[in-house]
Amino acid sequence: MADCSALQFVSPYAFEAMQKVDVVRLAALSDPELRLLLPCLVRMALCAPADQSQGWAQDKKLILRLLSGVEAVNSIVALLSVDFHALEQDANKEQQLRHKLGGGSGESILVSQLQHGLTLEFEHSDSPRRLRLVLSELLAIMNKVAEANCEFFFKSSELFESPVYLEEAADVLCILQAELPSLLPIVDVAEALLHVKNGAWFLCLLVANVPDSFNEVCRGLIKNGERQDEESFGGRRRTEALRQLCKMNPAQALRVRGMVVEECHLPGLGVGLTLDHTKNESSEDSVSDLVCFVSGLLLGTNAKVRTWFGTFIRNGQQRKRETVSSVLWQMRRQLLLELMGILPTVRSMHVPEEAEADMEPNVSVYSGLKEEHVVKASALLRLYCALMGIAGLKPTDEEAEQLLQLMTSRPPATPAGVRFVSLSFCMLLAFSTLVSTPEQEQLMVMWLSWMIKEEAYFESTSGVSASFGEMLLLVAMYFHSNQLSAIIDLVCSTLGMKIVIKPSSLSRMKTIFTQEIFTEQVVTAHAVRVAVTGNLSANITGFLPIHCIYQLLRSRSFTKHKVSIKDWIYRQLCETTTPLHPQLLPLIDVYINSVLTPASKSNPEATNQPITEQEILNVFEGLMGGENARLNQRYEITAQLLVLYYILSYEEAILASSKTLAAMQRKPKSYSPALMDQIPIKYLIRQAQGLQQELGGLHSALLRLLATNYPHLSIVDDWICEEHITGTDALLRRMLLTDAAKKHSPKQLQEAFSALQGNHTQVLQILEHLTLLSAGELIPYAEALTSNMNQLLYPGIPRRILQTVNRLWMALNTVMPRRLWVMTANALQPSNNVVRQQKYTQKDLMIDPLIVLRCDQRVHRIAPRSRFFWRSACLWKKRSP
């Protein structure tokens, strides 16, 4: 309020002293400062205190000594000597009279007919009449405020305008409110003071003399305030008055700002308080409070607050001209100053050719953004994105120029630097209007070229897997395939906000990408050289090489330009862990499609190569059995499950598209049965069952493929039997596992079987210990167990051994059924069978399941042995065509 600029306000030091009743600090105040606080100090000195302690008695003496030399104290003492009860009764009668007369200016009970103006009457009156004059004037304003229905008005009043009697009028006002709180609620008085000249000054004095009412007054003024304070004269006066209150009590300024956001009123006040706080707490390196506050409003989860503040920005721009007094102008200026404060002071606009040859690799010649400024720069970029994209801010030429300079600066190779480059790139895509001149466009192209050159160095130095290189490559692919909506989604996701981007605004950027920087052939050749993401999981967020490869596979770029992608796919599948990344299964599906389906009918050979059988076997190395099986596993279970998903999906895709492939005279290579025989499918499915939460939809997809390709592995009867092996009882038994059981090797089991005829105890002891192992841990013992089954056919073998072997066989059947059936069938062939020298394979048993029944006849005479043998025969019969 310009009308109060010449007046002295209560200082923060004085207000804090009053709030804490710090007599020592009060004594240190100057006479002008002390004069503003006299109403409260005189009341404290004269009124009977509730605190009867010795400490307050000493403080009261100090206050009396402090007041003894002040002349104005006498007039305040005279004001306190009035009969306030009679005054309140007359005031109530006048209120009733005004209510009957409809607010008209009829007879006044408080004040008789005035002979002169209010100022002269006030000067010539004694203390009781002065109280009545101010009270009558104040009640008239309060009544008019109540009748105005939120329409602001300005009331001209001599009592509140005359500079000669301002202090005396303020004394009367403070005494009236303190002695008649029910008649003059402080919030209503504060509301009335906004409508008179010097209202902010009177309000600050009133609150300073009743410091405990600060929060109550602020909340009341905010609650009664306008939703958009910059649009009206009343809103601006209210905002300025509240800012003066917060300058008097800066410790509560941020709390008042919270009230503003809570009520969604007076956005200019919220920004103004933040500007005041930013000036007091300014720091060059850290993110300013202004950036944090405005970003929180626009990027928070409260849609009501976001709409309210966005309206403030849009309305502020619609005014024909912004003045320096506008809060929006002050905010924009402060943000621009902060932006300019972190811009690099020295910039190299191009790399000299002769410098490139002499430089060490992966070293940038650009002098760019300081490391301590990177986080602040990222915060400023996101804020400007929110202001332009959500609140509709239209940047000035100066703002656009400085923003472009910041976006095209070169940060250091740190995780924060990678984040800054990604934000800058997405901001260029979202707001292409920032680039308006050929010089600016050239600057942008140079910066994009720098991104391509420095991407590998940034990724290796910063240690961030999701670098901006993948995003650049992905955007290039989207441009080539004209997927502009995907680019918009990518930009919004990276910026962390939903903004409206017109596809037409990307036309120039598309031309630059597809014709000057990234042709389709360059994109394809570059993508296959990108390193795979190590330990890829869902915990790694951002845009990764897998996203780029997926899009290139969908567009058939690899087959079109004859670039092999098989090795990259294989390496990425091997470099995976839990939780499963959601892009892996779509990647495998689109890769299988590119292997089986040509890119065009004119070129039926334009397909990718499938993963070789040897590469597949390498993944499952260590699961095939052997003494050191568990130590030999090179790849995690995630990689093994993904490769299994690839094989089963590949075989299913061949069957599903057989008619199409036949019409195209193409016969893609199918994986051999020998390969499938060596993969423990049932064991892998059981492992996936225990990791369902971490594998996403992989477990259910594997079950679907298993039911199609290997229905004999999806028998319900098997699942029921597995409950006895994998249930709680089995887990409790394994808790009894001793170190001795862990020391038994397959070799020891083989030696025990060799001495079975003479020593049954050793075999039984080892077998009993093996029953405590899990089914997966039994896999290395499968060969020794099945190869010696023919020795169990001799008479005299204890039934306990037969039953234990049966339990172990059923446990192994849950993890390696097909291989176990073949091993069992080969081990129990008749001893006089000299016709067939070679061992049976799964293919042989599938063609002729009765091979199982042509076993040694002694098998049918041993009940525990014949049980699982008949089971094998039935399962092969179900599998056979």
Query: Given a cut of 60, is residue 1 above it in pLDDT?
Result: no
With 0-12 / 13-18 / 19 or more C-beta atoms within 10 angstroms meaning exposed / middle / buried, residue 576 is buried
Helix (H, G, I), strand (E, B) or coil at 344: coil
pLDDT tens readout for residues 731-741: 555 565 555 55
pLDDT tens readout for residues 96-151: 877 776 655 555 677 766 666 677 778 778 888 888 888 888 888 888 888 877 67
CA distance 253 to 280: 12
- Please choose, from the candidates 249, 322, 294, 183, the residue with its C-alpha nearest in 3D space to the C-alpha of residue 18: 249
Contacts of 428 (CB under 8 A, 6+ apart): 407, 434, 435, 444, 509
User: Between 682 and 10, whose confidence is greater?
Assistant: 10
pLDDT tens readout for residues 380-414: 999 999 999 999 999 999 999 999 999 999 888 88
- Please choose, from the candidates 526, 536, 411, the residue with its C-alpha nearest in 3D space to the C-alpha of residue 465: 536
- Taking each helix axis from N to C end, the angle separating 817-827 and 799-812, rounded to the nearest 10 degrees, works out to 140
| CB < 8 Å & 24+ apart, contacts of 159-164 | 159/118, 159/119, 159/122, 159/133, 159/134, 160/193, 160/196, 160/197, 160/198, 160/199, 160/202, 161/196, 161/197, 161/198, 162/119, 164/119
pLDDT tens readout for residues 645-670: 999 999 888 888 877 777 776 777 88
pLDDT tens readout for residues 203-217: 999 999 999 999 999
- pLDDT band at 789, cuts 50/70/90? confident
Query: Given a cut of 80, is residue 569 above it in pLDDT?
Result: yes
Average pLDDT over residues 407-422: 88
Helix (H, G, I), strand (E, B) or coil at 443: helix
Lowest-confidence region among 70-84, 673-687, 837-851: 837-851
